[in-house]
Structure 1
Amino acid sequence: MAARIDYDTVSVGTELPPLTVPVTRSGLVRYAGAAGDFNPLHFSDRSAQQAGFPAAIAHGMLTMALAGQLVTEWSGDPASLCDFSVRFTKPVPVPDDGVGARLGLRGTVTEKLEGRRVRVALEVLCEGVKVLGSAQAVVQLN
């Protein structure tokens, strides 16, 4: 975790350091166990293909959590995340090839708010495709 970010050093347009996160089948299994979500779309290619997906897909909330990781690693404090919202726009197919999928995560400060908070717009891509829409977080800074 990085050192805590000071509000006075941040301006509108500040870019968060980009993050690339692997999403693997073993990660899907671990997430399913933690979340109690054992929908076969998240581990069975056959079930996913019957539903029209090319492969098993990542849990939407896992994708959202990984976007949150970008923000909390930047802020230096996991408790700094005050508000967080996304629209799930595209699934994240996770091939069973030992490599999986890669999420590219970027964020930009779009607004400085009262109380030493900032609003961050997030971009989450998988294979160049935007998988979360209207993704934004409000973060409490030092």
Structure 2
Amino acid sequence: MKVEALLFGGVAAFFAGAAALYAAWSGDPTGTAALIVAFAMAALVSFFCTMHYRRKGRRPQDRTDAEVADGTGPVEFFPAESSWPVITALGFAVAAIGVVYGLWLFLIGFGVLVRGVLGMTFQYVDRGSHQQG
């Protein structure tokens, strides 16, 4: 992450300099604000990469002596079939049609949508509680 932090730090410095020059020469507040926002976004990514590098150190991708297996993690959980995405899509479709045809249909669709989202969210809430950790 050190290389990425330096890269985005350079981008942030470029946008800071461009914002200063643009503000001095053009006097346009809109372009200056856009350049300042671009500077802030690049500085934020640079700060994140720097903190990540300080906390975790070098990644396997950064080391020349690392093996491919060093960068792999454990195989995660793959969920089985679920009907909740279909219910969520149906609820969204009915709610969208309800915008056109009336509040009563929108409320029914919104209720189905909320139930679908909650079903997807809490489908595996007890997963891992039986495992030793």
**TM tier relative to shorter chain:** under 0.3
Which structure exhibits the higher relative contact order, with contacts defined as CA atoms closer than 8 Å and separated by 6 or more residues? 1
Based on CA coordinates, which of the two structures has the bigger radius of gyration? Answer: 2
Of Structure 1 and Structure 2, the greater helix share is in 2
Of Structure 1 and Structure 2, the greater strand share is in 1
TM-score for both structures, normalised by structure 1: 0.20
TM-score for both structures, normalised by structure 2: 0.21
